[in-house]
């Protein structure tokens, strides 16, 4: 029993597995035991956990309907159609929209990125937004990190002749929307790799699939470099509190490397690092949780979500610097309002307490 009155139950030690892993990989016994306590039982599993490799990521086509989605993207490229990428307003959704839209733009596809607005009545894609994207000249709408419950919006898309591809990672419930393709890792087999992917992870997988599907006459080195987008994937995955195991761990591990590079491929991430004072050192998952993600999240809370998405998608370093400064100011305002609400709540509580006494 501890001083706090809590009783701790210690995990039973598997000394055989601990020694086997430690001897095979030359690890400290404490680290070996921690790995075993987390379900790692062989040296091979330990190596994958500690040093995840990009070539271990499963085929994106293992996710049902991914082929339909990738083929439709390839058709949009072939026809010269305009595509709208619609993401949720949280960091996972924003990074997912930025990841996919940057890939499409680099593939020569006319693309607009749209962020969902934080509303009291509804969340996610609406019929009115479908009408707007149709008026903007879009032929295809792809949702990221949202869409599993967009029944009315999907119906409206069918009415106006707008193709809809839904990519999401939330568990669908109730009536399913009628879309050209619905890509969700929860539709995979229960033990399939990637079932825990975040919204940005699913968007990244669609980019992988589309890159393999699209006809591209340019040399491989001139084609869209998906590795440069992995900083966005790490940012969204950690911000969404996705479990850092399996493919999530691989994506985050390599995404943190991209985030840590000075002069990262996306100016918006570099500008965001600057306002967070993270330049010149390795970026960690803690930096994402406590510095980068809160500034992006503040945008939707301050009714400025499109600024956050514009920051993540811009290729203009000067614009990125201005947008990052705006988000930093929004975050300061958000903290001030939050503290004010807290003080008001405390004052109300004190008054109620005084009345009772």
pLDDT tens-digit map of 11-22 = 778 889 999 999
Rounded to an integer, the average pLDDT of 188-209 is: 95
- Quick one: the chain helix, strand, coil %, rounded to 5? 60, 10, 35
Instruction: Please determine, for residue 7, whether its predicted confidence score (pLDDT) is greater than 60.
Output: yes
Residues 162 and 294 in one domain: yes
pLDDT for 2 equals: 60
Residues 180 and 279 in one domain: yes
Residues 41 and 94 in one domain: no
pLDDT for 6 equals: 81
Is 131 a member of any domain? Answer: yes
Confidence of residue 288 (pLDDT cuts 50, 70, 90): very high
Is 182 a member of any domain? Answer: yes
Tell which wins on pLDDT, 13 or 309.
309
Instruction: Please determine, for residue 122, whether its predicted confidence score (pLDDT) is greater than 70.
Output: no
Strand partners, 167: 144, 183
% pLDDT > 90, the chain: 77
Is 125 a member of any domain? Answer: yes
Lowest mean pLDDT among 140-144, 239-243, 343-347: 343-347
Is 226 a member of any domain? Answer: yes
SS3 123: coil
The overall average pLDDT reported for the chain is 93
Tell which wins on pLDDT, 10 or 15.
15
pLDDT for 1 equals: 52
Residues 47 and 179 in one domain: no
Residues 252 and 269 in one domain: yes
Residues 157 and 180 in one domain: yes
Confidence of residue 9 (pLDDT cuts 50, 70, 90): confident
Name residues whose C-beta falls within 8 Å of residue 73's C-beta, 6 or more positions apart in sequence: 83, 104, 109, 140, 142, 165, 206, 210, 213, 214
Confidence of residue 263 (pLDDT cuts 50, 70, 90): low
SS3 245: coil
Is 126 a member of any domain? Answer: yes
CA separation, residue 59 to residues 52, 66, 95, 193, 223 (Å): 16, 10, 21, 10, 19
Question: Apex CA 285: angle with CA 4 and CA 244, to 5°?
Answer: 80
d(CA 71, CA 177): 20
Is 344 a member of any domain? Answer: no
% pLDDT > 70, the chain: 95
Is 114 a member of any domain? Answer: yes
Residues 148 and 277 in one domain: yes
Residues 95 and 43 in one domain: no
Rounded to an integer, the average pLDDT of 72-88 is: 98
Rounded to an integer, the average pLDDT of 44-63 is: 95
Instruction: Please determine, for residue 310, whether its predicted confidence score (pLDDT) is greater than 70.
Output: yes
pLDDT for 112 equals: 98
Instruction: Please determine, for residue 136, whether its predicted confidence score (pLDDT) is greater than 80.
Output: yes
Residues 73 and 209 in one domain: yes
Tokens 């995990």 — which residue? 11
Rounded to an integer, the average pLDDT of 298-321 is: 94
Provide the residue range defining the domain that includes 25.
15-51
pLDDT for 64 equals: 97
d(CA 88, CA 255): 21
> Are the C-beta atoms of 259 and 293 separated by less than 8 Å?
no
Tell which wins on pLDDT, 128 or 301.
128
Rounded to an integer, the average pLDDT of 216-232 is: 81
Rounded to an integer, the average pLDDT of 261-273 is: 87
Is 189 a member of any domain? Answer: yes
Residues 44 and 136 in one domain: no
Task: Please name which of 246, 268, 228 lies closest in space to residue 237, comparing C-alpha atoms.
Answer: 246
pLDDT for 275 equals: 96
pLDDT for 35 equals: 94
SS3 260: helix
> Are the C-beta atoms of 197 and 248 separated by less than 8 Å?
yes
Rounded to an integer, the average pLDDT of 1-16 is: 77
* Greatest mean pLDDT range, 101-105, 217-221, 341-345: 101-105
Residues 71 and 42 in one domain: no
d(CA 272, CA 231): 12
Rounded to an integer, the average pLDDT of 84-99 is: 98
Residues 72 and 221 in one domain: yes
The CATH number assigned to the domain holding 213 equals 3.90.1640.30
Please give the tally of structural domains in the chain: 2
């Amino acid at each position: 029993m501890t001083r706090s009155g809590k009783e701790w139950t210690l995990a039973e030690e598997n000394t055989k597995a601990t020694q086997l892993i430690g001897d095979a990989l030359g690890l400290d016994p404490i680290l070996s035991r921690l790995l075993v306590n987390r379900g790692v039982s062989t040296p091979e599993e330990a190596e994958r956990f500690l040093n995840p490799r990009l070539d271990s990521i499963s085929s994106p086509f293992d996710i049902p309907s991914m082929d339909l989605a990738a083929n439709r993207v390839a058709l949009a490229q072939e026809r010269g159609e305009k595509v709208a990428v619609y993401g949720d307003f949280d960091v996972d959704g924003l990074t997912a929209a930025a990841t996919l839209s940057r890939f499409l733009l680099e593939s020569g596809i006319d693309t607009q990125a749209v962020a969902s607005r934080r509303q009291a009545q509804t969340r996610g894609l609406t019929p009115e937004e479908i009408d707007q994207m149709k008026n903007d000249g879009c032929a295809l709408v792809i949702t990221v990190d949202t869409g599993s419950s967009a029944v009315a919006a999907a119906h409206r898309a069918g009415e106006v002749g707008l193709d809809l591809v839904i990519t999401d990672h939330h568990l669908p419930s109730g009536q399913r929307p009628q879309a050209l393709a619905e890509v969700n890792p929860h539709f995979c087999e229960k033990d399939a790799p990637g079932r825990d992917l975040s919204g940005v992870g699913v968007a990244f997988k669609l980019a992988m699939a589309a890159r393999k599907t699209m006809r591209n006459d340019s040399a491989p080195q001139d084609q869209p470099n998906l590795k440069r987008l992995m900083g966005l994937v790490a940012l969204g995955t950690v911000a969404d509190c996705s479990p850092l195991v399996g493919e999530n761990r691989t994506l985050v591990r390599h995404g943190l490397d991209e985030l840590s590079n000075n002069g990262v491929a996306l100016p918006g991430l570099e500008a965001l690092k600057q306002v967070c004072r993270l330049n010149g050192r390795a970026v960690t998952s803690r930096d994402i949780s406590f510095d980068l993600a809160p500034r992006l999240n503040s945008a939707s809370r301050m009714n400025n979500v499109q600024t956050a998405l514009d920051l993540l998608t811009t290729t203009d370093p000067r614009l990125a610097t201005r947008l990052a400064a705006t988000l930093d100011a929004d975050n300061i305002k958000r903290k001030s309002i939050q503290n004010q609400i807290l003080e008001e709540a405390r004052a109300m509580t004190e008054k109620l307490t005084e009345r009772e006494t």
